[in-house]
Amino acid sequence: MAIGGTKVNPKKFHKNQIPFYLYLVPVAVFMGAPIVYIINHAFKPMDELFALPPKFFVSNPSLINFQNLFQTAAGSSIPISRYIFNSLVVTVAVVLLSILISTMAGFALSKMKFKLKNTIFEVNNLALMFVATAVTIPRYLTINTVGILDTYWAHILPLIAMPVCLFLIKQFMDKVPDSLLEAAQLEGAGAFRIYWKVILPLTKPAIATGAILAFQAVWTNVETSNLFASSEGIRTLSFYMNTLSGVGTVQGQGMAAAAALIMFVPNLLLFVVMQSSVMNTMAYSGMK
């Protein structure tokens, strides 16, 4: 297609695309540099880890950091498999519960009519302004009062309420035509059936995005293990990996670099697999 003699979205490379490449390539390099650094840093031998000036790329890749990591884990009183199991249980529970709560709340706020609906949604938006540190003490007091300290629920409950997830899903649901819901009602479908059979299938991109955000929030979280768990056997993999930098002076830094890569890879793979859903959600969630 041509507009004013200029081709728009040509099938093959065209000179009109050069300005886009001049802008996008440096941005892509800048955004991808931390990923490249994390990967290179994990494979640096000890002399390169502490080289001055620091090296961005590894010159002599080595698996010594990973070997030290697994040797330390093998000598721990708590096997690393226990930390992995705890993380898997907590991560799966948080992702499923946060998606369930966010989709049900988003459906109510988007498609149902009741008093204070807009006020409740604005309260959710206001919660986006608060960082986790600001609510640490109230969270601890609540968990202590409920009596779930040092349990899996102490890891799960503080993380299942995700304001950003609810915001994205609700905004995406606003794009679902009301005529589809009216047609389902004429067929005798109730609110739950409409939610399950109509709303959820049409909001899969937003759900996938919410799942990624929930996974990222819980997979690397160390706050719950630090504050709400006193038993080592109930703590998560991210907490254990975070303690490795304190093991020795030199060796611990290498193990911490390897641990950072191990914890980062699942986030990267999940985003790569679901990136189309994320882009679709970001494109439509803010539109009216």
pTM of the predicted structure, to 2 decimals: 0.83
Judged against a pLDDT cut of 80, whether residue 132 lies above it is answered with: no
Q: Give Cβ neighbours of residue 217 (< 8 Å, ≥ 6 apart).
A: 94, 159, 162
Distance between CA atoms of residues 187 and 107, nearest Å: 19
Could you tell me the domains of the chain? 14-62 (no CATH), 78-284 (1.10.3720.10)
What single-letter amino acid sits at 227? L
Structure confidence at residue 103 as a pLDDT band (50, 70, 90): very high
Q: Give Cβ neighbours of residue 40 (< 8 Å, ≥ 6 apart).
A: 56, 57, 58
Bridging pattern class, strands 6-7 and 2-3: antiparallel
Instruction: HSE, CB side, 13 Å, CA atoms: give it for residue 113.
Output: 1
Q: What are phi and psi of 184, to 5 degrees?
A: -65, -35
Could you report the per-residue pLDDT of 40-67, keeping only the tens digit for each? 999 998 888 888 888 889 989 999 889 9
Provide the percentage of residues in the chain whose pLDDT is more than 70.
89
Mean pLDDT on 136-162: 91
Structure confidence at residue 69 as a pLDDT band (50, 70, 90): confident
Higher pLDDT, 133 or 32: 32
Lowest mean pLDDT, pick from 8-17, 114-123, 189-198, 222-231: 8-17
